[in-house]
Amino acid sequence: MIEIFKISLIAFMFCALGQEKGDIFHWYQKLLKRLPVFLSKPLGGCYMCFTGQVCFWYFFITKSFYPIDLLFSTVAGIMIAMIYNKLYCWLK
């Protein structure tokens, strides 16, 4: 369960640190804007989509092939990323 918190925080911050000009990963966000929406969102254009992808593939590769565990880790990661977003917006 702790891994979900760690992975979702890393994925969320990767997306959050590229939103405004002058941020660390702004160059990556500019590259994503050239792609079609169905590709750019899971690659970092949407923090929820990116966090879901990262959580899914991490747990698929390292932990479990059980569908319920994969679904739980993906949904929990997205939910935690939404909480991080609320905190990030509140602190910003």
- Pair 49, 41: CB distance under 8 Å: yes
Q: Are 48 and 82 in contact (CB under 8 A)?
A: yes
Q: What pLDDT sits at residue 55?
A: 93
Find the helix packing angle between 67-91 and 2-16, rounded to 10°: 50
pLDDT at 5 over 90: yes
Structure tokens, 77: 């990661």
Q: Provide the number of structural domains found in the chain.
A: 1
pLDDT score recorded for residue 8: 95
The parent domain of residue 66 ranges over 2-91
Q: Is the pLDDT assigned to residue 27 strictly greater than 90?
A: no
* Res. 19 pLDDT band, cuts 50 70 90: confident
**What distance in Å separates the CA atoms of residue 3 and residue 1, rounded to the nearest whole number?**
5
Percent of the chain with pLDDT over 90: 46
For residue 22, pLDDT beyond 90: no
**Please, what is the Cα angle at 80 between 18 and 78, to 5 degrees?**
75
